[in-house]
Structure 1
Amino acid sequence: MSQPKARRSQLISTYGIGGLFPSSTTSYMIAGLHEWKEDRAEPLSEPRLARSLKVVALKQPPAGGRKDVPVIRFPYTQVCPSCRRIGRLHELSKDWNIAECSKDKQPLNPFRLILACRRGHIDEFPYFQWLHRGQGKAGSDHLMKLEARGRTSSLADLVLTCTCGVENRNLDGAIGPLADFGTCRGSRPWLGPETEACEEIPRVLQRGASNVWYPAVRSSISIPPYSEALSKFVDRHWPLLADREVVTPALLARVAELSDGKYSVDQIVAELDRRRGEEQEEDDLSEARLRSGEYSALIEGRDEEDIDADFVCLPRDVPADFDRLITDVRKVTRLREVRALYGFSRLEGAGGSESNLCPLAPTHTNWLPAIQVIGEGIFMAFDRDELARWADKSFAKDRARMLKVAADRNAEEYGHAPKHIDIVEVAIHTLAHVIIDQLSLDAGYPAAALRERLYVDDNMAGLLIYTASSDSAGSLGGVAAMAETDRLGNALAEGLVRLSWCSSDPVCIESKGAGSDALNLAACHACVLVPETSCEKSNSFLDRALLFGTRDGGNESEGIFSHFVASAVGA
């Protein structure tokens, strides 16, 4: 049997722990961290992100060997494409480890349907009960088959039969809540055979549905001093040096020798003291504090002093037409992002409720799987006071009120805490999408290769558009080059003028609720929506009217860039 293969990045974002991995004619589930070969996982240096996730280390998923990442077969229910028998693998195959029909010698196919609940449990579809419910058991012989009528690929054309004599029944109507069969059994196969109590009503899903697995990923940009070569060197040896009691002059001398003379004992000691002090001060390093530190580092900038550094950020002048709102521009010629998987959810996105996140192991582990990507980008900071004055106007407050109604309705429907609506963040978020769309034209990158990173709270307002990809569209210099004053000014002007009108207007600009769960206002696929991988908020909380105003009620001049667009179009 050939071994299934996946890229490291897929084990964080697509087929992570508890997720389903399709391979040839079968399907697997990635097992929990307790089953991984930790010694085969390469450490990643990003102490700030590790501390924020309450772990000691971050490590890249093993790669390059056989059976480095353990999997289990799921679903266990199989169907023979030849004789159409349906059953558990051990019932249809002579060898439980080989998915092959013992009768027809044909590869077995995993069943299309599975069960899942909002607490993250996942289970086999009860095909036997589905057919026999309300009909009793006409006989003792139960050889079941799944017949395909072949007219369409719908569930209505898949018919369950049994030799016991009960009436045949198709799978039409199976998708959705399965209330007739009791509550969820609490199955967590990625953690082992043990179950836990659960009162949720399970839902029937297609095995390949996108809501079977939502990753909870936290990321961080490496900033000085952690992006410097000395910090990364000390981090590699941190397990030996973390405990002050066991650090001896002989150990320090040995570690210095491992640097091949690049660092002295005094330099290593100074770095150890700095790191220990920061860990005591930043015991609870939240994601908000991670962003605040990155924002400060981007504002401060960093020259290319160390060729081994992962962070180079050069100041550039603000384009003249935008200096009323934009205060700083940075050309980020080198950055490193680390993304770590710390949980997942099912049925609804991981951002819905942290309490519904599923664990990656039965007990707390001291490490998490993570990947690193290298890229470049453009950073812009905005005048927070100017944005606050704009947000205090009735137009902005009315738009915030409409989004708040939709967010509260969404929270009530899915049972999670209501989201706070910061209308400044919505405006900056929408502008980030405008820039991504324009850079995909001017910089030569596909939009899916660009990502946004927002820095918005009561004290800061900024955005970073960057490439951080492991494929060929990673770091070619095209995005950073657009930070030069003239190029950035032209790109902003063209993007704003072009997207001030949408081919779906006036329907788009007058929308009172669009997108997933109506969490957008004036935003659609013809204007500011971008690929899901590019957006931090899954293409939600967008409103083009905040940038350009609306054509009704005399609000044409109420957008942040209304005056610029009006003058540009008039010119």
Structure 2
Amino acid sequence: MTIPKARRSQLLSTYGVGGLFPSESTSFMIAGLHEWNLERAEHISEPRLARALGVTELKAPPAGGKRDIPVIRYPFTQVCPKCRRIGPLSKLSKDNDGRCKFDKTVDLSPFRLMGACRKGHVSEFPVFRWLHKGQQDQSAGDEHEMRLNVLGRTSSLGDLTLSCTCGVESRSLEGAIGSGSLIDFGKCEGLRPWLGLGTNEVCDEYPRAVQRGASNVWFPAVRSSISIPPYSETLSKLVDKEWHILGNPEAALPPVIAGYSAKWKGRFSVDQISREIERRHGEEEDDEEISEAKLRADEYKALVEGREEEGLDSDFVCLRRDVPDGFESLISDVRKVTRLREVRALQGFTRLDGAPDPSGPVQTLCALAPTHLHWLPAIEVIGEGVFLAFRRIALDEWAAGDFAQGRAKAMQRAADRAAADYGRPQAPVDIVKVAIHTLSHVIIDQLSLDAGYPAAALRERLFVDDKMAGLLVYTASSDSAGSLGGVASMAEADHLGLALREGLQRLSWCSSDPVCIESTGSGADGLNLAACHACVLAPETSCEMNNSFLDRALLFGTHDEGSEDAGLFSELVQKAI
């Protein structure tokens, strides 16, 4: 059998710990971090993010060797495509080699259904009990040989029927994925196979049947940060890589520091290295918690201040540019970010309920290892982008108006319902953030046309709280599309002004209007108002809020009397028309 392979980025975004990895005719579950081969895991320097995540080190997923990241075959329930027998792998395969013991030329296929609960546990679909439901004796024995038959009329679950040699009446899988379909079979057993045997938890949830390839089986909780000075400098990254030695005052003696200066080919003097070590020690003595809000505030400050000098030793180059004519009342600063480095780390994952918002309420995540480890998997990518800072006072004045407050109340009701449904803490809706978020999607859509990048290659990063308001649209990709310069060039005043006007004017109307603009709740859990796939919804890889909390009407107003001019950019769009 061919050893399954995946890109490093996929081990954070698609097939991470606890997720299912499809390979040929079977599927595997990625094992916990405690099983990974750390000898091939490269160090990634980003101490701010590591500290925010409660670890001392970030490492790239190991690569270059076989079995660097162990996997387990999952689900265990298998089906023979030829004889149609269904059962556990140990019963259908003689040597657990994945081949049917009744016909060695046929590879077994994993059953398409599995169980999952909101606390992240997984389980096998109860095939035997589903078929024998209602019988007093539901213990599987040798007299029971089940088969999964395909009627061939459609591809729905209703065309899949289970039968057994005991003579029980055949039963289809229709309704297996419906809400509450597994309630009759007991509560979740708290299984965590990615962590190994003996790691079960007590769980009071009822499992829900899902298709093993469904997107809701695994949602990664990825935290990220932009490298800013001094962490973006080469010296800081070199010292961080050797911090296990240089961080020890008894070991970091002048001869040792001189040795590192020579190792780094004299690029940095002993005094420079010593000052960097002192700075790191002072940073570690600071007991201030680095929250997501703190990370964003530091990045916002660095972007506004800019960094004019372009040097080969920096992963952060941010140049000041003029604000386009006509936007001065709302936009205070524009920055051309010709080089940035983003580090993304996998903090945990969830199932069924969707990925958590990094800036939202704290959610309980599924563990990546049986015990707390000193490291987390991460990747680093290089890109470029455009940064806009907004006048907070002007936004606050607009947000206090009746129109914005009315939209905020509608969204708040939807958010409160979703929080109650999923058992999450309630969080207030920031209508300013919703407006900036929607504008970010407008810019992504327009840059995909003007800069020649696919929308999926662009990402947003929002900086919104009581004191700041800004957005960064950037490329941060592991391939060449991340640093071709096309997005950064759009920060020039003439290019940016034209792009903003065209994007706002084009998306002020939607092909689904008036249905879209008059919507009272759309998208997942009704967390959007005027937003649909024909206007401001973006690719999932581009949006950091899962395409939620979007409202095009906040930018352009609605067709209701008195609301035509209530949007942030209503006046500008009307002038353009």
What TM-score range do you get, normalising by the shorter chain? over 0.9
- The one-letter code matched in structure 2 to 1:85 is R
1:420 lines up with 2:428 in the alignment: yes
Equivalent position amino acid for 2:421 in 1? E
Structure 2: how far apart are the matches of 1:320 and 1:112? 57
Residue 433 of structure 1 and its aligned partner are, at CA, apart by 0.5
Structure 1 unmatched ranges of 5 or more: none
Q: In structure 2, what residue type is equivalent to 1:206?
A: Q
State the distance in 2 between where 1:132 and 1:119 align. 28
Task: Please tell me whether residue 405 in structure 1 is matched to residue 382 in structure 2.
Answer: no
Aligned partner letter, 1:155: L
> Structure 2 residue aligned with 1:297, among 290, 302, 318?
302
Q: 1:207 aligns with which of 204, 212, 218?
A: 212
Find the counterpart in structure 1 of residue 196 from structure 2. 192
Alignment of 1:272-291 (within 5 A): 272-281=277-286, 283-291=288-296
Matched residue, 2:276? 271
**1:193 Cα offset (Å):** 1.4
The 3-state SS of whatever aligns with 2:484 is coil
One-letter amino acid matched to 2:302: A
- Which letter maps to 1:498? R
| 1:484 alignment partner AA | E
Deviation at 1:354, TM superposition (A): 4.0
Aligned length: 568
- Superposed, which structure 2 residues align to 1:99-498 within 5 Å? 99-105=98-104, 106-137=106-137, 141-176=143-178, 177=180, 178-194=182-198, 195-281=200-286, 283-351=288-356, 354-498=362-506
In the alignment, the residues of structure 2 paired with residue 160 and residue 168 of structure 1 have an alpha-carbon distance, to the nearest angstrom, of 5
Cα deviation per residue 1:24-65 (whole Å; 9 max; x = unaligned)? 100000000000011210010111000000101101001122
Which whole-Å CA distance do the structure 2 matches of 1:515 and 1:355 have between them? 21
- SS of equivalent residue, structure 1 residue 455: strand
> Which segment is superposed worse, 305-314 or 137-146?
137-146
Which position in structure 2 is the counterpart of 1:524? 532
Q: TM-score, normalised by structure 1?
A: 0.98
User: How far 1:279 moved relative to its partner?
Assistant: 2.5
Q: Is the contact between residue 40 and residue 64 of structure 2 (CA under 8 Å) also seen in structure 1?
A: no
Q: Counterpart of 1:66 in structure 2: which amino acid?
A: K
Provide, for residues 358-416 of structure 1, a one-character-per-residue CA deviation record: whole Å limited to 9, x for no partner.
01000000000001111000000000011011111111111101100110011111111
Q: Quick check: 1:137–1:164 contact (8 Å CA) kept in 2? A: no
Partner of residue 64, structure 2: 64
The secondary structure found in structure 2 opposite 1:12 is: helix
Partner-residue secondary structure (3-state), 2:66: coil
Give CA deviations for 1:504-525 in whole Å, capped at 9, x if unaligned: 1111111111111110111111
CA distance in 2, matches of 1:104, 1:413: 48
Kindly indicate whether the alpha-carbon contact (under 8 Å) linking 2:386 and 2:490 is maintained by their aligned counterparts in 1. Answer: yes
Question: What are the superposed Cα offsets for residues 42-91 of structure 1, whole Å, 9 maximum, x if unpaired?
Answer: 01011100000010110100112211111111001110000111111121
The TM-score normalised by the length of structure 2 is 0.97
Q: Deviations over 1:143-169 (max 9, x none)?
A: 111111111111111111111222211
The ranges of structure 1 where at least 4 consecutive aligned residues each deviate by more than 6 angstroms after the TM superposition are none
Conserved in 2, the CA contact under 8 Å of 1:55 and 1:368?
yes
Secondary structure at the aligned position of 1:190 is classed as helix
Query: Is residue 356–residue 363 contact of structure 2 (8 Å, CA) maintained in 1?
Result: no
2:91 is aligned with 1:86: no
Secondary structure, in 3 states, of the residue corresponding to 2:571?
helix
Matched residue type, 2:45: S
- Do the aligned partners of 2:411 and 2:429 also contact (CA within 8 Å) in 1? yes
Match of 2:35? 35
Amino acid at match of 2:151: R
Report the secondary structure of 1:322's partner residue.
coil
Determine helix, strand or coil for the equivalent of 1:372: strand
Structure 1 position 249, deviation (Å): 2.3
Deviation at 1:250, TM superposition (A): 2.6
Unaligned regions of 5+ residues in structure 2, if any?
none
Q: Distance in 2 between matches of 1:516 and 1:538?
A: 9
Q: Please tell me whether residue 507 in structure 1 is matched to residue 506 in structure 2.
A: no
The answer to whether the 8 A contact 1:228-1:306 is kept is no
Do 1:120 and 1:356's aligned partners in 2 also have CA atoms closer than 8 Å? no
Identity of aligned residues (%): 66
Q: Secondary structure at the match of 2:326?
A: helix
> What is the root-mean-square deviation in Å for CA atoms of aligned residues?
1.3
